[in-house]
Structure 1
């Protein structure tokens, strides 16, 4: 059964009054209909200041869609957590919690499962202070593999429930059919939620906006959707232009990722600054931004940016899009949309992750 935040989770991740959420979603819908991105972000900013929504450590919070929960606008990404060492990963987790960054991301396969193990160990005695997310890595396989991943993730994270569980890396054209077939991964989400092992459910992907839209056409009761958003995406196979408005219309909480394009190449090449990149995405109508943090220095940098965040105006956003348009049009900084690492050739997928027949 679903657990509310009064019994599970720290006081810093607060419940919202239902009327406040519905009012905010109504205003958000009006802004969406008018095509006003800045107004949509302003609505989110207003909801940050609602009853119970005061930030911890000066970090703003936003409502997680229609769930009645508020979360920080930054998420600590598990994909980079132990890039330097397990010890550094533990120190990042502890410092993040004390600083008010209490939304934690992970996935079953990160660092061959070690990211979950390190995070789980670091969260001992602190679990109730965080909003904890991880993901099943079924890649077209079915319900039983998903539920197996859940049990393994819970054990590694040393918890008996997740706040959010998502299907990881949805991006192949046949993924919607495989996810929603009888015995597919969607059934794992529903069963886990019914059993009280997860509070909220969603899906992620960063390859093709059309696949996200085809997933959404199934009208499944997703609470969240994680998608790549950055100033370069606006000009190439754009999730911002195609998927984000549909999520907002449906009341599904958008979680941004890849604000620095995955490996930070546009930062290294001086095309944009870290603050411009992060501020642009936080100025979109999203709930939170999953941020790849591999050191305490990066943690402190990103926390400082989030604490002083002021939404860009639509004019500022358009000026930044125009400024990077030449470097954005061919997708050079978004190779996760085209790289063969994310091949959708089923024999290759099965070679990497196992046969689809494994249910």
Structure 2
């Protein structure tokens, strides 16, 4: 399993992050099997959130046992200090752990959300307090949608977040405005040694209304191995990307692991040929909108 350093944390972890959204609605047996598969293949970077259904509960039995061997990250979507602090403690209790390596302010994809998090009495204060108590080691920020890179660039101007997490895939990076925002964010993140982590690597498009949905993801994912290989090749071709989250369905996880284990065997030309020729490939977040 390929590993990269998580920014200024100076800690090497697997480039594949176990995206625990996949555990939100599965049985304990399914969760245990998926986590066991991840550990057996060298995945030691686990990323979850308080809002991922029962994910934290499902992680608890195994994660508490291997806590010292993994990098553990969770998220709070609350915006006030009081509510965020309560959610942080609840996450620790659900996972049966005493601390997390990373606590992220979740789904900060607009300037309005960023203002709420960084305002007096906002969730950033809860994260800082938790860090002073030793239950949170580092503080990060995540965001969805086309505005996320620009919002996170502003976030780094307000606070030295240790990590950022935002959408990146071949289609979205091909949008000129999005590419410009991502490039600017990556430049600043590299200056600050902020770890760059990404999501939606194998996202294809929004689900077609009325169509069968064979996966638990809220968007239609790619499920053909060759395309997943190309998607993984694309995101890992950015040297500053230290990790990407797996899709939110346990049945896709082995294919993503397989792609990472073979990273480097696909040429850039083959990657371009595969991804540029896909019909129906678009942004799962709809049409881009201005952040103004």
Structure-2 residue corresponding to 1:287: 242
Max Rg structure:
1
Instruction: Report if aligned partners of 2:160, 2:192 keep a CA contact under 8 Å in 1.
Output: no
1:35-114 aligned within 5 A: 59-111=1-53, 114=54
Matched, 1:241 2:183: yes
How far the C-alpha of 1:172 sits from its partner, in A, is 2.4
- What is the DSSP-based 3-state SS (H/G/I as helix, E as strand, rest coil) of the residue aligned with 1:265? strand
Higher deviation after alignment, 209-218 or 232-241:
232-241
Specify which of 275, 282, 286 is matched with residue 229 of structure 2: 275
Structure-2 residue corresponding to 1:175: 113
Q: Deviations over 1:19-46 (max 9, x none)?
A: xxxxxxxxxxxxxxxxxxxxxxxxxxxx
Distance between the aligned counterparts of 2:51 and 2:219, measured in 1? Answer: 22
Alignment CA distance shift 1:336-1:98 (3 Å): farther
Q: Deviations over 1:294-340 (max 9, x none)?
A: 33x5333222211221187776666667556x866xxx43226769x
How far the C-alpha of 1:265 sits from its partner, in A, is 3.2
Unaligned runs of 5+ in 1: 1-58, 345-359
Structure-1 residue corresponding to 2:134: 196
How far the C-alpha of 1:212 sits from its partner, in A, is 1.8
Distance between the aligned counterparts of 1:204 and 1:337, measured in 2? Answer: 20
Distance between the aligned counterparts of 2:201 and 2:82, measured in 1? Answer: 33
Structure-1 residue corresponding to 2:264: 310
How far the C-alpha of 1:84 sits from its partner, in A, is 4.0
Specify which of 136, 153, 158 is matched with residue 76 of structure 2: 136
Specify which of 100, 108, 111 is matched with residue 162 of structure 1: 100
How far the C-alpha of 1:263 sits from its partner, in A, is 5.3
Matched, 1:333 2:288: no
How far the C-alpha of 1:146 sits from its partner, in A, is 1.1
Distance between the aligned counterparts of 2:82 and 2:255, measured in 1? Answer: 41
Q: Deviations over 1:133-156 (max 9, x none)?
A: 100111xx2111111111000000
Instruction: Report if aligned partners of 1:75, 1:103 keep a CA contact under 8 Å in 2.
Output: yes
Alignment CA distance shift 1:304-1:322 (3 Å): closer
Instruction: Kindly tell me the number of residue pairs found equivalent between the two proteins.
Output: 271
- What is the DSSP-based 3-state SS (H/G/I as helix, E as strand, rest coil) of the residue aligned with 2:9? coil
Matched, 1:118 2:58: yes
Unaligned runs of 5+ in 2: 204-216
Name the TM-score, length of structure 1 as normaliser: 0.68
Distance between the aligned counterparts of 1:132 and 1:156, measured in 2? Answer: 13
Instruction: Report if aligned partners of 2:228, 2:255 keep a CA contact under 8 Å in 1.
Output: no
How far the C-alpha of 1:227 sits from its partner, in A, is 0.7
How far the C-alpha of 1:63 sits from its partner, in A, is 0.6
Name the TM-score, length of structure 2 as normaliser: 0.82
Instruction: Report if aligned partners of 1:234, 1:321 keep a CA contact under 8 Å in 2.
Output: no
Instruction: Report if aligned partners of 1:206, 1:336 keep a CA contact under 8 Å in 2.
Output: no
Distance between the aligned counterparts of 1:274 and 1:312, measured in 2? Answer: 11
Structure-2 residue corresponding to 1:224: 163
Distance between the aligned counterparts of 2:154 and 2:287, measured in 1? Answer: 17
Q: Considering only aligned residues, what root-mean-square deviation do their CA atoms show, in Å?
A: 2.8
Instruction: Report if aligned partners of 2:219, 2:284 keep a CA contact under 8 Å in 1.
Output: no
Distance between the aligned counterparts of 1:205 and 1:154, measured in 2? Answer: 22
Instruction: Report if aligned partners of 2:172, 2:283 keep a CA contact under 8 Å in 1.
Output: no
